[in-house]
Amino acid sequence: MKAVLQRVSEASVRVDGDIVGEIGSGLLVLVCAMQGDTEANADKLAAKVAKCRIFQDDAGKMNRSVQDIGGSVLVVSQFTLAADTVSGNRPGFSRAAAPADGERLYEYFADQLRALGLTVETGRFGGDMKVSLLNDGPVTIPMEF
């Protein structure tokens, strides 16, 4: 699975003008299941996201995790993370998991974060989403498992 973590002061996602997920301080996680990914990939990614120390401690160093600060996570599916841009000018997305597998792993990933004690909001898989965020730092971290 591929993910992009963004440390945020706030983030929300709208579908058809309605807010479907919204958080304050925490992480916006854009996530994509790739062909061949399994629950084991989602488990590793969830554990790494929960423990990733990208929040400042009292000394101003990035030394605290979203768990440490009691932050929330907004998980948004984004198949475009599977983009292949090696040839041509139009990205290909054939490495992304099939939609049914992608949705299953997306939901499983969000559930694994909840199982780790995090407050998790989500977007709507396959929806035309409008994501708003106030990136804190900015801090943006790519991950892949």
Q: Active-site residue 109, yes or no?
A: no
Give CA–CA dist 51/93, Å, rounded.
Answer: 29
Torsion of CA 40, 110, 16, 134, to 10 degrees: -110
Tell me if residue 3 falls in helix, strand or coil. strand
Write down the catalytic residue from 6, 55, 67, 78: 78
Tell me if residue 60 falls in helix, strand or coil. coil
Write down the catalytic residue from 6, 55, 67, 79: 79
Write down the catalytic residue from 35, 38, 80, 140: 80
3-state secondary structure 108-127: HHHHHHHHCCCEEEECCCCC
Q: Active-site residue 79, yes or no?
A: yes
Indicate which residues carry an active-site annotation: 78-80
